[in-house]
Amino acid sequence: MKTTLFSLVVFSLLLFLTGCGGGSDSGSSESSRSPYELRMAMVEVQQEMRELMAEHDLDEHPAVMAAEEKMMKVAEEFNKARREHPTLAPLFEVSDRHRNQAVQSRIDGDDAAYQEHMDAYKNVRSELERTAGKLPEMEEWKARLKEVENETTLAMADVVAEINDRGEELAEQLRDLLAELN
């Protein structure tokens, strides 16, 4: 799969945006960077790593593929659990309806209706994420997602470190960022 590392970057952003990305802004960290800044730095390093792996035809390295497969399975289970949760399911239904109506409005060329549905969609998604963030049942999922993301990130770092000095440097940067986030 040529998109292995790109998928990891996208997955990292998903975790960050859903509040599962780790980190704390309590000030107890030695780093002066916020969790957001650390996440964005990780995305940049992961992008460089993806490019380095592509240059060396390591996009389909077995260790990274296995870790990514595990990550995608857990992500699917997480999304299913969220969509089926009794508190979140109605919010997903409303969100999906507004998203579909926005798409249809765009196809129909109705910019006003598109904007109306997109605004409603964004509001419902914000409410959905706030609500999900308060559900104790989701805490276990967040911890599991973070664990699997870390495993995948470290598998990628191990592969890149074996390429050359630049790969080793990127792997070290990634490990350091991961340690700061955790």
Mean pLDDT, rounded, for 133-145: 89
Own/partner pairs, 67-70, CB within 8 angstroms, 24+ separation:
67/148, 67/151, 67/152, 67/155, 67/156, 68/1, 68/4, 68/7, 68/8, 68/152, 70/148, 70/151, 70/152
Please give the average per-residue pLDDT across 38-63, as a whole number. Answer: 89
Q: What is the pTM of this model?
A: 0.66
Above 50 in pLDDT, residue 48? yes
Q: How far apart are CA 37 and CA 171, in angstroms?
A: 18
- Least confident range of 53-57, 73-77, 121-125, 167-171: 53-57
Residue extents of the structural domains in the chain: 1-17+33-75+152-182
What is the torsional sign of CA 34, 40, 41, 42? Answer: positive
